[in-house]
Structure 1
Amino acid sequence: MLADEFGREVSGVRVSLTDRCNFDCVYCHNEGLGDTRGPMAPREHEMSTDDVVRFLQVVSEFGVDSVKFTGGEPLLREDVEEIVRRSPDEMEVSLTTNGTMLPGRAGDLVDAGLERVNISQDALDRETFKEVTQAGAYDAVMDGVDAALEAGLAPVKLNMVVFEQTAGYVPEMVEHVAENDGLRLQLIEYMPEIAGHPEWAIDIERVHDWLEEQADHVERREMHDRRRYWVTPDGTDLDWDAVVDDGTVDESEAGMVEIVDPVENPTFCANCHRVRVTHEGYLKGCLNRNDDLRPMGEMTRGEIRETFRETVANRVPFYGEYMVKEDGEWVVNDEYLDDSPAGDASSTVDETPAQTDD
């Protein structure tokens, strides 16, 4: 397994299959590239099925054991089932989606080898959901969650970006996953650098503090040093001492809530083990940067190997290294100001930090 100079081994990859989407979420970052979306029809610059599969086969040689397909909305591509089916057997395969196209496809995706799914669900309120997503597809998303559960994809992780418009629905969402078998909740910190609305941001530590009070059990996850909060429904009496000793949790008795909080968080960055691939076939060592994009040329196996090695070798923790504190403010480390290995590619996309999910 390859590691960068900060000792961070790369064990997973995120592959964007398209920048197209049938939603227009106000917080969207498109894997850190900004709003590059065009027509909804298939686009020639997207990696082909063979390109994606070849990339995965090569990085599996380096011990990469998980891949998450994302977008845009990846299920706008009709070949996702084929890509999943042809992914290396040793890789855990997951997908992030808005869920609207899971009915009718979830079963085929599972048959192809899909093991996990994240579904965007920002509020249990139709009007708020419509305002945030710019799409009147609340029922379609809920149907997608049901389809994923029926296809055997439990636990289904619901992604909720937490900012001014959605923060008031956090307690309801926590209760929702605690009371419904097979659901987990991932609260994703909003980043004002993306949408340009700093007034929308909230103090994510307040959410942590509230969950600490509500949770029956708290644990830490190695990736990004994330905290997990286990919450039982009212009236449930679970022996957490026994659970901790056993190391497993019956998710019919408790719901799991996790917070993704990358903003100004060096600990989060120090525990990152991923490399990302844009829909056009560029490698990214960090979600928050676009000055480190590396093209894989014609995507031959040799070119992929060389570019992957270079990308891993040049990975840098964003906060605490690429961005450093000076007089209480985060500024770009002078060491990296003139370092732009992607060349001309870095000037074609927005260079702002972005949301993340798992």
Structure 2
Amino acid sequence: MMIQPLPAIADALPAARPLVDRYGRHISYLRISVTDRCDYRCVYCMAEDMTFLPKRDILTFEEIDSITAAFVARGVSKLRLTGGEPLVRRDIMELVKTLGRHLRGNGLQELTMTTNGSQLRKYAGALADAGVRRLNVSLDTLDPDRFKAITRRGRIEDVFAGIDAALEAKLAIKINMVAMRGTNDDEIETMMAWAHGKGMGLTLIEGMPLGEVGIDRVDSYLPLRELHDQLSRRYTLEKLDQRTGGPARYVRVAETGGVLGFITPMSHNFCESCNRVRLTATGQLFMCLGQDDQVNLRDALRDGGHDELDAALDRAMLLKPKGHDFVIDRARPQPALGRHMSVTGG
């Protein structure tokens, strides 16, 4: 299946002004959830019995490409495909190849993907051929039984095989690990040694209160400052200025030679430097992961073409909030937002 971009939007975009919000932040990073579906049901991300969107409500590949082109024309230089699990969407490589053409111009500088790794063995080579150079692989444990408990299904052997295939395809990999007290906090050093030993980075992430899920978020919440202090007593952590376009702060671990990242939406938010917006699989643009303000780009595109889409991006910049205020404690144990992480792709 070949994707035919809408010519009036995707291939004939006029030079446009950059996307700048009310606080002077330049938006250069677009995350696109290509599907809300996933072959796992991770306890911190989804309910066990999820109701997924009807396929008729999902953006077509042509629409995703046209919206991407509009963002690139206005200065977005980094694009990340997410889900759910992006590699479970039918014919996903046709979309990746089509979006990869933006890398050949003067706009898009990087096309990346976040995946759970379950399908990576099948697609690693094709992703590299399409222009993808880096992947984030979500993996919270190295123990097969614990993996099944966290994901509620799946085989960790498939993820290991996918990672090996991606490394063979010369893709740079960063492992994303949600740190959960009482679940995998005893594996942090083991995961770091394994990842760094294979030439991969490791980024630790605090759990976020999005959607009703399968764990007690108060009990499982682990502030990463606590982990940082714990690790610094055993390892030499050298602060790095390295940035990859996202919210992580990085250190180099002298003893392993590898890079360790910390994403702290709870204990120390990173909103002052936020350069990101998120497009859902139905075409809703969320300006903040921790807020519900949204702009319907699907309707703008379908009803008014490029002009209305461009105007919708202007509206989005006026709506982008200064930041989020996540709280996890016994006084407020309910989710901060009703939508699950899989809706906006993290």
Identity %: 30
CA contact (8 A) 2:236 2:255 kept: no
Q: Which amino acid aligns with 2:44?
A: Y
- 2:35, 2:247 → 1: CA distance? 29
Change (3 A) 1:74 1:159: same
- Is 1:123 matched up with 2:126? no
Q: Which of 233, 238, 254 is residue 217 of structure 1 equivalent to?
A: 238
Q: Which amino acid aligns with 1:215?
A: T
Match of 1:107 in 2: 125
Q: Which amino acid aligns with 1:259?
A: F
Once the 2 structures are TM-superposed, how far is the Cα of residue 178 of structure 1 from its aligned partner?
A: 2.3
Once the 2 structures are TM-superposed, how far is the Cα of residue 176 of structure 1 from its aligned partner?
A: 1.2
CA contact (8 A) 2:30 2:277 kept: yes
TM-score with structure 1 setting the length: 0.78
Q: Which amino acid aligns with 1:230?
A: R
Q: Which of 284, 309, 313 is residue 314 of structure 2 equivalent to?
A: 309
Once the 2 structures are TM-superposed, how far is the Cα of residue 355 of structure 1 from its aligned partner?
A: 11
Change (3 A) 1:224 1:294: same
Q: Which amino acid aligns with 2:249?
A: R
- Is 1:227 matched up with 2:227? no
- 2:192, 2:278 → 1: CA distance? 30
CA contact (8 A) 1:296 1:307 kept: no
- Is 1:187 matched up with 2:192? no
- 1:37, 1:95 → 2: CA distance? 24
Q: Which of 157, 161, 176 is residue 159 of structure 1 equivalent to?
A: 176
- 1:160, 1:356 → 2: CA distance? 18
Match of 2:268 in 1: 265
Q: Which of 150, 153, 165 is residue 135 of structure 1 equivalent to?
A: 153
Once the 2 structures are TM-superposed, how far is the Cα of residue 139 of structure 1 from its aligned partner?
A: 0.4
Once the 2 structures are TM-superposed, how far is the Cα of residue 298 of structure 1 from its aligned partner?
A: 5.3
Q: Which of 289, 296, 299 is residue 297 of structure 1 equivalent to?
A: 299
- Is 1:62 matched up with 2:74? yes
CA contact (8 A) 1:289 1:353 kept: no
Once the 2 structures are TM-superposed, how far is the Cα of residue 80 of structure 1 from its aligned partner?
A: 2.3
Q: Which amino acid aligns with 1:2?
A: L
TM-score with structure 2 setting the length: 0.80
CA contact (8 A) 2:87 2:115 kept: yes
- Is 1:14 matched up with 2:31? yes
Moved over 6 A (4+): 352-358
Deviations 1:91-120 (A, max 9, x none): 210001111111121111111111211111
- 1:273, 1:35 → 2: CA distance? 34
- Is 1:82 matched up with 2:99? no
Change (3 A) 1:353 1:52: closer
CA RMSD of aligned residues (A): 2.9
Once the 2 structures are TM-superposed, how far is the Cα of residue 280 of structure 1 from its aligned partner?
A: 0.4
Q: Which amino acid aligns with 1:206?
A: E
CA contact (8 A) 2:45 2:341 kept: no
- Is 1:72 matched up with 2:87? no
- 2:345, 2:238 → 1: CA distance? 22
CA contact (8 A) 2:224 2:267 kept: no
CA contact (8 A) 2:33 2:82 kept: yes
Aligned residue-pair number = 307
SS in 2 for 1:228: strand
Q: Which amino acid aligns with 1:24?
A: R
Once the 2 structures are TM-superposed, how far is the Cα of residue 288 of structure 1 from its aligned partner?
A: 1.2
Once the 2 structures are TM-superposed, how far is the Cα of residue 5 of structure 1 from its aligned partner?
A: 1.2
CA contact (8 A) 2:249 2:262 kept: yes
- 2:310, 2:158 → 1: CA distance? 40
Q: Which amino acid aligns with 1:316?
A: P
Q: Which amino acid aligns with 1:118?
A: N
Q: Which of 164, 167, 172 is residue 190 of structure 2 equivalent to?
A: 172
